[in-house]
Amino acid sequence: MMSVWLHRPRFLHLALFVAAYVLGCAFAHVLGIVPGTSIAIWTPGGLFMATLMLAATPSWPWWVLAGCVGELIGQFLWFHSPLPASLLMYVGNALEAMAGAWLVTRTCGRPVRLETLKEVLAFVVLGAGIAPAISATVGSATLAWFDIKSQTFTAAWPLWWIGDATGVLIVAPLALDVFHNWHGNSQLSAARWIEASVLGLIFLGVAALSLSGYLPFAYIIMPPLLWAAVRFELRGAAITLIVLALITTVFTISGAGQFAGDPESQRQRQIMLQLFLAISALSALIVAAISRQHQLAVLRLSQSERSLRELVETLPALIWCAAPDGKPIYFSQQLSGFIGFNVEDKDVAGTSRLASVLNAIIHPDDLAAVKKLLAHSLATGEPYAQKHRLRRFDGEYRWVEMRAAAMRSGDGAIVQWNGVCLDIEDQVRGRDELRLAQENLARASQAASLAELSASIAHEVNQPLAAIVANSYACQRWLMAEPPNIERAQKRAERIIQDANSAADVVSRIRALFKHSVETRTSTTLSSVIAEARDLMAEEAARRRVRMEVDVESNLPFVALDRVQIQQVLINLIRNGMDAMDSTVGDRVFGIRVRRMGDVVQTEISDRGPGVASPDRIFEPFFTTKEHGMGMGLAICRSIVESHGGQLWAENNEPHGATFIFTLPVDAAAEATVSRAAGNQSHAL
């Protein structure tokens, strides 16, 4: 109830509706052709149904009430039926309008515009076919019951039904069009006005000639009627239908034309007239809907074409299309703007368009490669992709990435090539700059490694040189002694030779390190290298009162290593550990532990010194806390271990001391060979 009140229409609209309804009654009265039947082309029915189709359902009671007022006024003014009969007939009319509106809106959804074939068919079948049956039943029964104009139910029913159906077919489309375009300003162009005027004249002429009986065939009106429907769609059809109904009725009432006759045959003729109007309406509405659908399809097509074109033109890429043989057929505006000419501008007699376009835009150095790849794609249908330089309108060549792919029909034949071209100049320039920066960096790091190398040479060679100098003095002393002690001098000379050799060794090792030489690597177990290092350091350890505890896991796997380099690492770490324990008061124990950890062999060298204050910094070149230290040892060790594919790091022990750990990857190939050999051996056994 509340919603009915909320949906009450504006009073002005209700008043207009009542006025139009009364006018419709007057129109129907005029169209009451068969004398004495009270039945005519019921125009208010079409108006009523169209109104309900557009109005919200909760507002329907208001329109029904307004319709009742209109009907009673019409009855009072023209039809003069008794009040109860008038009310009963109105009930039939209202039920017809509601049923028609409900069925059509249910089937097609709102708003009903009669723009599609589905809408028109639903409107014709449900609105103009089924709904009038309700009104015809109620109305004819009322006529028979109240014995109005001596009508029987069966005689009145068909006239009533077809009268209402024609009223719906002729008036509802016009009403719908008027309601929908009430606020719209659909202006016709001058040409359309001229066409409409010419059409109107022809229509009126043909209608007058045919319906007056001058031309024997009423349906000759169809061509101009359909013309109106095709060109002016629903509005054209609706207006011409109303005009047709008027002209037909006027001629019939005045006794002229095909549908007029003596009172006996008039009944038959009215049915023919109504059928004529109904068929005309049906045809015109269907044609109007088809025309509208066609117009909409054309509009949609042109819209999608426009949006596709806009998409192509606004994409940040240069786009082109070519025929299956490669002949360019379309350049996007951006591409034309970039190269400075349109697709057909380079056409010259004797040269294909493709060749002349390529010659004009591709850099001479890239032209041959482009032509070759393009020919390959055109021959095979494979996608084309290449980077080359493209000539801009100002003559500057810019790097672009050109890609194209074939568009194929359903049977796989190439119908067109579509291509896209991206400007990658900045990218290429950026890559060049990056390469330059990398080269600079490489040069800088080379300089850095040179500095490292010099420092390490100085560091490693310094010790044997010092020893050589010391031994040379000693040798000299023994030789200059009285008498010269040849034996001792000879021993010193031997040491000099040893030290000189080890200095030479250091130099060659460092050179090998610098080269990251892989050739000198052999596959061996770490245990032998550890044993050598321990032997080498044994004397020094004893001197510095350091006990060495070596724990090497048995059956260690093979590792590929440069023996000299790994020894250098071990000795460096051992010596560092001893240095660290110089100030240790308690047990000076030094531990070397080697074991396999998955794919690596891990060596731990631990001491009981004070531990490492900054485990990350100690690997930096020239970081030292020692008075005469160089800070190069650990940096070189890490470099050696990493060049072997391993890692070196330091950890502090609890409660004190440090552990230096390095890993070396297991030589999988050597391991596989060994296990295969072992397998063969056991097999042989």
- Which chain residues interact with ligand ADP by CB under 6 A? 576-577, 580, 607, 609, 612, 618, 623-626, 629-635, 658
- Say which residues have a Cβ less than 8 Å from residue 33's Cβ, sequence separation at least 6: 40, 249, 252, 253, 259, 266, 270, 273
Instruction: Let me know: does 403 contact 420? Beta carbons within 8 Å.
Output: yes
Instruction: Let me know: does 538 contact 574? Beta carbons within 8 Å.
Output: no
Q: How far is the CB of 660 from ligand ADP (least distance, A)?
A: 6
Beta carbon nearer to ligand ADP, 37 or 606: 606
Beta carbon nearer to ligand ADP, 382 or 620: 620
Q: How far is the CB of 677 from ligand ADP (least distance, A)?
A: 40
Q: How far is CA 497 from the centre of its chain?
A: 77
- Say which residues have a Cβ less than 8 Å from residue 389's Cβ, sequence separation at least 6: 362, 363, 365, 366, 397, 398, 399, 400
Q: How many CB atoms lie within 10 A of CB 67?
A: 24
Q: How far is the CB of 581 from ligand ADP (least distance, A)?
A: 8
Instruction: Let me know: does 549 contact 577? Beta carbons within 8 Å.
Output: no
Q: Which amino acid is at 283?
A: S
Q: What are phi and psi of 607, to 5 degrees?
A: -130, 175
- Tokens linked to 56: 């919200």
Q: Which amino acid is at 608?
A: R
- Helix-, strand-, coil-residue percentages of the chain, each rounded to 5: 65, 10, 25
Of 51, 253, 262, 45, whose CA–CA distance to 162 is shortest?
Answer: 45
**Residues forming a β-bridge with 560:** 523
- Tokens linked to 479: 């030789």
The DSSP code for 402 is: E
Residue 637 three-state SS: helix
Beta carbon nearer to ligand ADP, 541 or 634: 634
Instruction: Let me know: does 146 contact 81? Beta carbons within 8 Å.
Output: yes
Phi-psi region of 593 (alpha: psi -120 to 50; beta: other; left: phi over 0): beta
Side-chain-side CA neighbours of 176 within 13 Å: the count stands at 32
Of 68, 121, 124, whose CA–CA distance to 95 is shortest?
Answer: 68
Q: How far is the CB of 556 from ligand ADP (least distance, A)?
A: 24
Four-point Cα dihedral 47, 53, 59, 65, nearest 10: 30
Q: How far is the CB of 611 from ligand ADP (least distance, A)?
A: 6
Beta carbon nearer to ligand ADP, 66 or 635: 635
Of 361, 359, 388, 363, whose CA–CA distance to 373 is shortest?
Answer: 388
Residue 141 three-state SS: helix
Q: How far is the CB of 566 from ligand ADP (least distance, A)?
A: 16
**CA–CA gap between residue 9 and residue 47 (Å, rounded):** 16
The DSSP code for 188 is: P
Q: How far is the CB of 463 from ligand ADP (least distance, A)?
A: 11
Q: How far is the CB of 493 from ligand ADP (least distance, A)?
A: 30
For ligand ADP, the nearest residue by Cβ is 629
**CA–CA gap between residue 10 and residue 12 (Å, rounded):** 5
Q: How far is the CB of 658 from ligand ADP (least distance, A)?
A: 4
Q: How many helices (H) and strands (E) does the chain have?
A: 20, 12
Instruction: Let me know: does 630 contact 622? Beta carbons within 8 Å.
Output: yes
Instruction: Let me know: does 652 contact 615? Beta carbons within 8 Å.
Output: yes
The verdict on whether omega for the bond into residue 655 sits within 30 degrees of 0, i.e. cis, is yes
The three-point CA angle 633-635-637 to 5° equals 70
Taking each helix axis as running N to C, give the angle between helix 43-54 and helix 83-108, from 0 to 180 degrees, rounded to the nearest 10. 50
Q: How far is the CB of 550 from ligand ADP (least distance, A)?
A: 17
Q: How far is the CB of 364 from ligand ADP (least distance, A)?
A: 59
Q: How far is the CB of 601 from ligand ADP (least distance, A)?
A: 21
Q: How far is the CB of 530 from ligand ADP (least distance, A)?
A: 17
Residue with tokens 């690597």: 521
Q: How far is the CB of 432 from ligand ADP (least distance, A)?
A: 40
Beta carbon nearer to ligand ADP, 371 or 459: 459
- Tokens linked to 400: 């672009």
Residue 381 three-state SS: coil
Side-chain-side CA neighbours of 402 within 13 Å: the count stands at 24
**CA–CA gap between residue 142 and residue 144 (Å, rounded):** 5
Q: 3-state SS string over 217-232?
A: CHHHHHHHHHHHHHHH
Q: How far is the CB of 533 from ligand ADP (least distance, A)?
A: 15
